[in-house]
Amino acid sequence: MTPSFQFPGPWQTLLFVLLLLGVPVAAFFINAHFDEPLDSATQQWLDWQLPAVATMDNGYLDLVALEATAPDRLQLAATALARQVEIASLAGGDHAKLYAEAFQPLQIQNQQIKLPEGLCGKDATHCLPALHEHAALLQSLRAANREPLQRYQQMLSRPAYAELLPPDLTVPIPGYAYPMQLSKLNASQIADLAAAGQFDAALALWNKEQQFWLRAAHGSRTLINLMVAAAGLRRGTLLLADLLDTYPQLATTELNATRRVLEESLQLRPLLLQGAMYEFQGVAYIIRHPEVNAPAGKALDPGDKVLLSMIKPHASLNLQQRLQQKQLQQLGIPIPSALANNKAEAESTCDSERPWLSFNNPGGKLLACIAEPDFSSYRDRLATVEKDSQTLLNRLQAQ
């Protein structure tokens, strides 16, 4: 006789449902805690630092302290920048507040110079005509801002430049508007020297500023510092082209230093790797120090806690490194072998429609793929400076 079927009791049904739901969830969280080792290239990107420079040789200190009103501003800036590194190493606390306190002794007061609109700006195709048009106003502005302009020109003379920023993305970045305004006043001084027939002095000041922006580009960690340096270099190439057009006799002066500056401006795109590695270190800092993203004195948002529980730190960083390297290589940026991952070119995790819908590191894939790196606009700006520099170099070599 065939036994009759019996429906399971309520307890058996509940147990079955719990198993049905619990096994995948348990597998999900267990998987999240079985990480992979860091790739060699990932570790190299995490460890990368700018070469050390002597503190008082560093033009970055002048940039940070340009608007400071306290005596001993450069030494105070050095102390504040060292304190930044200490704050970034703290496991908790209100980092933004601590950073602000570190810079209070400098007594920074925001400054602004009201220049004619569009003067030698980022969209300009010429610089000298506007400098001539507003020469009287610019001369009066130079007189009114004599001390800040002297500070700026002192900064140009520093023999080194290294942007001293930890990878904590809450760290304050110096204001660049004021140094850019002073740079335009410096350009007006170059224009006036050339108009007075003092071509050697005009070229000497031009060379000094271009060399500074080259050092700033090579000493960049952040993409914003690199782009500011590129803007300074491009303004210089526009001005030199205009000077050569307006004063043909300029080409008969000593131009060896100018040629060297232009030659050194032909290899700017590889510097994009430095900015990419700093961005990568910032991602690593967020993963390793999630508490920094919480509002002061508050716990992490529940949604952030859930996302963090789904992240494999090492796997996420390996993925992020491969994606950034792949993007750079597609843009033609060379990657030294010691910093390269041979798996990067084949990386396809973010090619699927929703790569984070998986048990394997969904949080890390979401973090990496929701905003894939795009360095193309930065590459294009650097390429423009290289192209302008090559055009000027060809012109000088034909003289």
Q: What are the tokens at 242?
A: 């205009």
Residues 229/385, Cβ–Cβ less than 8 Å: no
Question: Which stretches of the chain score pLDDT less than 50?
Answer: 1, 5, 23-24, 27-28
What is the largest distance, in Å, between two alpha-carbon atoms of the chain? 118
Q: Which amino acid is at 139?
A: Q
Q: What are the tokens at 331?
A: 């843009």
Separation CA 349–CA 63 (nearest Å): 41
Which residues are CB-contacts of 297 (< 8 A; sequence separation ≥ 6)? 94
Cα 298 to chain centroid, rounded:
29
Separation CA 335–CA 312 (nearest Å): 26
Q: Which amino acid is at 273?
A: L
pTM listed for this prediction:
0.89
pLDDT computed for residue 395 by the predictor: 93
Domain locations in the chain?
55-269+390-397, 274-376
Separation CA 399–CA 395 (nearest Å): 7
pLDDT computed for residue 27 by the predictor: 46
Which residues are CB-contacts of 257 (< 8 A; sequence separation ≥ 6)? 203, 204, 207
Q: pLDDT (tens digit, 9 = 90+) per residue, 318-370?
A: 999 999 999 999 999 999 999 999 999 888 888 877 776 677 888 888 888 88
Q: What are the tokens at 325?
A: 């390297």
Residue 396: name the closest of 234, 287, 254, 274 by CA: 254
Q: Which residues pair with 68 in a beta bridge?
A: 108
